[in-house]
Amino acid sequence: MLIKALCEYADFLDETGQNKIPAGWCEQDISYRVILTAEGEIKNIISEKQSKEEKDKKGNVKIKKVPTKVLLPERTQKTAIDSNTIEHRPLYIFGLELGKEGLEVSGKAEKSHAAFVKHELEYFEDLDSEMCLAYRRFLEKWQPENEKENELLIGLGKEYKGSYFAFGLEGGKAKLEEDEQFQKVYNEINSQKSIQQNDESTDLKQCSITGEMSSTARIHDKIKFPGGLSSGCVLVGMKEPSFESYGKTQSFNSGISEIAMKKYTSALNKLLADKHHRIILGDLVLVFFAMKSDDSAECDAFSMLLGESAEQQAAKVGSGIHDVLKTASGGLAGDAENVIAQSCDDNVTFYIAGLTANSSRICQKFIYGGKFGEIVSNLKKHQRDMHICDNVRPVYFSGIEKQLISPKATDQTLPPPLITSVIMAALSGGKYPFGLLETAVRRVKTDSDEEGKNYIKLNDIRAGIIKACINRKYGKEEITVALNEQNRDPAYLCGRLFAVLEKIQQESVEGTLNRTITDAYFSSAAGKPSLILPKLMQLSNNHKRKLSEGRSIYFDKLTGDIIAGLDGEFPKTLDLDGQGRFIVGFYQQKKELYTKKTDDGKE
């Protein structure tokens, strides 16, 4: 499904020219251009970087230098030493490696440069344009061992290692990759090679993606994946014989044609390189796109609803789409609800894929597709389900992930299967995974509040997660957004009672308590109310003697109303759902006690 969707998306890009890269060519980031004299000497090395405006978290504009995209012959997919036609890597071009002591000739650098020179001299042997002659003379003259003190290379400093290079002729006369003679020869050779491969192919069959009879791709192009190998990862690949079947080797098992392979790899590389089409959540990379030639409006709206980085949000503030956030939170009136309708196509098909890197492979965790309007509607519902008490701020997946991890854990990432299931539930409007409720309850019971870090144990996001899980599980509003005094569920009432008992304790002591009943008994009370709450009721009688008469009467009435709903009997044990209700009841009652203006029991 993902590969088919990517191929269809590539066709939309072709309509706008965004994906119009000639066969046998590819886009490559270039930071510097090596300027050659007619005799093949390096006259200069000039920057090819372009200025790009970016906004930081505070919305301040900063100018950043980024490499320029240049069309070069297709790059090698091999990880072993293998030179490209018109090489761009400094290790190959100059045969020098940047070490602690400066530029040096290592074994790998020597072999890489030798492979580069041999390949290029053979390729450019019969080319005699001024640019090609200068390039060939450079190949013949350059001796790495004599260039370790080259001022132009040393002047690049640490950028030497991570930069890519292209070649040009002095006076701005020519660029090697744009040389007409070279392009003509390269395209002819590439075309003949393609024809020869098709003629020799014995694996012509119907492509599983396009349905056309075509040559099957033996090896699939690599994908530049965040967190994956720097050399690239593959989405489809059979490296070991154990993955092969029906007597077919390598990716002949996939049944994907060369044409389809080029389409989906090119489209996926473009999406992953564009921050408007992907979001990174820990180890999980979300890629999304709409089936239209210009899907910027849909992707911007979706990324902000889903939860993007602060830099991405800052870049879109004031664009109109930013109002969608408040709309989803239920906090904006007037025309804000129409922002998406005005900017986006509700009926366009929209895809979201969750991917992770596993060594040299890309693992697809999920893919979800549907009408954009339906997906946005489900995300709005997800936001409403997560709201609790007076919190109407958007709850992003990055925030959910953070609340499911212990603040003291060394590994601050969540297992991809859990966050994947949460995202799928939000996109589809289905039930949240069991693990979400279980993890949230466990975190509340085991974490503790610390000085300077308010609400580590229980905050609006954790309480909202528990509320959303329970409500979706039973398909109705078991728990309301705010405190519900009509809710007679025993677990919910026990949580409310615990909050009242904590408030009584705090009011009975001047100053700040070093240890409250929440610190000492909360986890036990959430699991076995009948064992803990009667003891705390007795303890609260001592605390109430220290209060004013008005406050004592107020708390007596409040605890009496709650206990009346329990018929005087506390539950012996609470299951996971019951513990969740206990936590939410405690949280909502505590919010009510601390936000409501009271004076001796009167509002």
Q: In which residue are the tokens 């969750």 written?
A: 354
Instruction: Say what the pLDDT of residue 513 is.
Output: 77
Q: What is the DSSP string of 355-414?
A: EEEETTEEEEEEEEEEEHHHHHHHHHHHHHHH-BTTB-S---HHHHHHHTS-TT-S----
Share of the chain above pLDDT 90, in %: 52
- Spatial distance between the Cα atoms of 540 and 504, rounded to a whole number of angstroms: 7
> Would the pLDDT of 524 be above 60?
yes
Q: What is the DSSP string of 189-253?
A: HHHHHHHHHHHH-S-EEE-TTT-SEEEBPSSPPPB--TTS-TT-BBSS---SGGG-BTTB-GGGG
Mean of pLDDT values over 125-154: 94
Task: Decide if 197 contacts 204 (C-beta within 8 A).
Answer: no
CA dihedral 194, 195, 197, 198 (to 10 degrees): 120
Query: Could you tell me which residue, 312 or 265, shows the higher pLDDT?
Result: 265
Instruction: Say what the pLDDT of residue 18 is.
Output: 60
Instruction: Say what the pLDDT of residue 451 is.
Output: 53
DSSP class of 586: H
DSSP class of 473: H
Out of 131-135, 321-325, 357-361, 571-575, least confident range: 321-325
Report the amino acid identity of residue 5: A
Please list, in sequence order, all residues whose beta carbon lies within 8 angstroms of the beta carbon of residue 294, skipping any fewer than 6 positions away. 16
Task: Decide if 503 contacts 544 (C-beta within 8 A).
Answer: no
The C-alpha angle 363, 367, 370, rounded to 5 degrees, equals: 170
Q: Which residue pairs, CB below 8 angstroms and at least 24 apart, start in 109-116?
A: 109/144, 110/144, 111/81, 112/81, 112/83, 113/144, 115/81, 115/82, 115/83, 116/83, 116/87, 116/92
> Would the pLDDT of 304 be above 80?
no
- What is the chain's alpha carbon radius of gyration, rounded to the nearest angstrom? 32
- Spatial distance between the Cα atoms of 247 and 339, rounded to a whole number of angstroms: 55
Instruction: Count CB neighbours of 179 within 10 A.
Output: 21
Report the predicted TM-score, pTM, of the whole model to 2 decimal places: 0.75
- Spatial distance between the Cα atoms of 226 and 283, rounded to a whole number of angstroms: 9
- Spatial distance between the Cα atoms of 287 and 284, rounded to a whole number of angstroms: 10
Instruction: Say what the pLDDT of residue 323 is.
Output: 44
> Would the pLDDT of 598 be above 60?
no
Instruction: Say what the pLDDT of residue 408 is.
Output: 78
Q: What is the pLDDT of residues 537-557, one digit of tens each?
A: 999 999 999 999 999 999 999
Instruction: Count CB neighbours of 41 within 10 A.
Output: 14
Q: What is the pLDDT of residues 143-195, one digit of tens each?
A: 999 999 999 999 999 999 889 999 999 988 899 999 999 999 999 888 777 66
Query: Could you tell me which residue, 392 or 371, shows the higher pLDDT?
Result: 371
Q: What is the pLDDT of residues 433-470, one digit of tens each?
A: 999 999 999 999 998 776 555 556 889 999 999 999 99
**How does strand 32-36 pair with strand 165-169?**
parallel
Instruction: Say what the pLDDT of residue 31 is.
Output: 95
- Spatial distance between the Cα atoms of 302 and 308, rounded to a whole number of angstroms: 9
Q: What is the pLDDT of residues 214-262, one digit of tens each?
A: 788 878 888 889 888 877 888 887 776 766 666 676 667 778 888 888 8
Instruction: Say what the pLDDT of residue 573 is.
Output: 96
- Spatial distance between the Cα atoms of 79 and 434, rounded to a whole number of angstroms: 42
Q: What is the pLDDT of residues 401-435, one digit of tens each?
A: 889 988 777 777 777 788 899 999 999 999 999 99
**How does strand 165-169 pair with strand 174-175?**
antiparallel
Alpha carbon separation from 50 to 63, 247, 334 (Å, rounded): 10, 50, 42
The C-alpha angle 497, 501, 502, rounded to 5 degrees, equals: 115
